[in-house]
Amino acid sequence: MIYRSPLPDVEIPGGTLTELVLGTAARHGGKPALVDGVTGETLTYAELAEGASAGAGGLAALGVGPGDVVGLLSHNQPRYALAVHAALGAGAAVTPMNPVLTAGEIGKQLRASRAKVLVTAEAVADKAADVAREHGIEHVYVLGEHDRARPFAELLAAGHPAPRPDLDPATAVAVLPFSSGTTGAAKGVRLTHRNLVANLVQTRAGWRVGPDDVQAAVLPFFHIYGFTIILHSGLLGGATVLTLPRFEPGAYLAALAEHHVTRAYFAPPMVLALANAPDVERYDLSALRYAFCGAAPLDVEVTERAERRLGCRIRQGYGMTEASPGTHQVYDDAFATTPAGSVGRLSPNTEARLVHPGTDTDVAPGEDGELLVRGPQVMLGYLDNPGATASTITGGWLHTGDIARVDDHGVFWIVDRLKELIKYKGYQVAPAELEAVLLSHPGVLDAAVIGVPHAEGGEAPKAFVVPRPGVEAGDVLAWVAERVAPYKKVRALEFVDSIPKSPTGKILRRVLKERG
């Protein structure tokens, strides 16, 4: 059975990502495109378009063009967008990197992507320069000033004309993110201009971002969620994108209030933090109309607590790096009628199936199954890994590795990661379900669940819990046991100071498994 979006298909433009999102920059002119929430630095639409064109000319003069890759190592800041579109304008692809990566991890990505140029933020310029030298990358530019890298502004000021690269948007890679590797080694994901252009116009059908909007961008641009859903949906709509380098509840709420943010984007740990943060109510958040959460399942009770404090509904979406990323969304006009805890309906031009894991056989209506998706946003494939590509995309269908269900109204619910399901005496136990129960305990600040070897059951749930002072492990175990079926009980519990997570909030279960 193939599920489809209730929205009609949209026409996918034929140009590049830069042509789509900056093609109307002249219309917006002096309107702020990006504002740094810490420093106040502002780039207008005109400055962004002109700077990207000049930067493309500067990169082209270095010999950068189609088939090349530019590494981008930075936190969220206005000049991030400038670097992206300078590289794309030259015909190159961008491989974005988390600035907290170790030198070894950065080097591994630069080597795998065969990056020719590295652009870095000031704060990590020393690390970037060391890695570039080790890997033979001659050209290192800094978004600002640093004595070990040339200012990116030099490329803009050089006066070289913008090139006109001959690209096929359907096959030319625009962005080369590396998947988070929550269940294994990270892989380079080849996203073409067409993939990203398609996803932007698809999601725009349901999320009507416009010039009156201000989008809060604290989720990192080096992750595809921040890159597409926040940064580029904002630029496409003519909104102002407010960049923030990191999430801290007080500073974040102050920024929302000061800049009259209308759309906020969360990962689950942010929602949990806002549900528990002191003094939320003293901030004027009256401009906030929509709040979205993605990257990992979000507990309904935590959602409702955060909603009451923010005065705004929070709804989830769904996607993955390999889908640019969006496949499911709660449309703006369906916020009030779509159940919390679901991920909404399919975006236009997107199809889905639910199959028995490891097969191509559809499950019966109403049953849980592995989610498969198909659409123009699905990646070209993994970098230099045809085997992984062939096992992930079969017959045009992308295997998400997530277990989902769909109701009679076409609303989808993510049950859990297929690879993270715990099998206890033959029963399948979803870690996300147990985590939701743990988070409902008043003495639990955060929690994660993994499967560990068990003498009787083969595998059993173990919980890692960040407790409030005075909480006893026995009380937490009893709390869970009273609220789940016997085979779902947590059999072991360990108190920890924090739960390891990716930058977008996914629990790094493999890290916990290494600890046992």
**Per-residue confidence (pLDDT) for residue 185, from 0 to 100:** 65
Bridge partners, 352 (sequence order): 3, 373
Q: Are strands 369-374 and 351-355 parallel, antiparallel or unpaired?
A: antiparallel
What's the pLDDT at 500? Answer: 93
DSSP letter for 233, please: H
Report the percentage of the chain scoring pLDDT > 90: 82
> For 333-362, how does the pLDDT look when each residue is reduced to its tens digit (9 = 90+)?
999 999 998 999 999 999 999 999 888 899
Does the residue 134 lie in any domain?
Answer: no
Whose structure tokens read 């992750």? 223
Q: Is residue 118 part of a domain?
A: no
Residue 486 lies in a domain: yes
**Are 35 and 78 a contacting pair, CB within 8 Å?**
yes
Distance of CA 382 to the CA centre of its chain: 18
d(CA 5, CA 367): 19
CATH number (domain holding residue 460) = 3.30.300.30
On whether residue 459 sits in a domain, the answer given is yes
Residue 34 located in a structural domain: no
- Residues 306, 273 contacting (CB under 8 angstroms): no
Inside any domain, residue 214: no
Q: How far apart are CA 258 and CA 254, in angstroms?
A: 6
Distance CA 162, CA 53 (A): 5
Strands in 69-73's sheet, in edge-to-edge order, are: 150-151, 139-143, 117-121, 69-73, 93-97, 173-175, 189-192, 381-382
Q: Which two tokens stand for residue 484?
A: 């789940």
Q: Is 474 a member of any domain?
A: yes
Would you say 54 and 48 are in contact if contact means Cβ atoms under 8 Å apart?
Answer: no
CA–CA dist 438, 457 (Å, integer): 21
Q: Model confidence over 354-384: pLDDT tens digits? A: 999 888 899 998 899 999 999 999 999 999 9
**Which domain range does residue 490 map to?**
421-515
**What is the distance between the alpha carbons of residues 108 and 47, in angstroms, rounded to a whole number?**
34
Q: What is the pLDDT of residues 382-429, one digit of tens each?
A: 999 999 999 999 999 999 989 999 999 999 999 877 778 888 887 778
Residue 489 counted as domain residue: yes
Could you read off the pLDDT of 215-269 as tens digits, one per residue? 999 999 999 999 999 999 999 999 999 999 999 999 999 999 999 999 999 988 8
Give the C-alpha separation, 3 to 224, whole Å: 25
∠ CA 211-214-217, rounded to 5°: 130
CB 56 within 8 A of CB 86: yes
User: How many domains does the chain fold into?
Assistant: 1
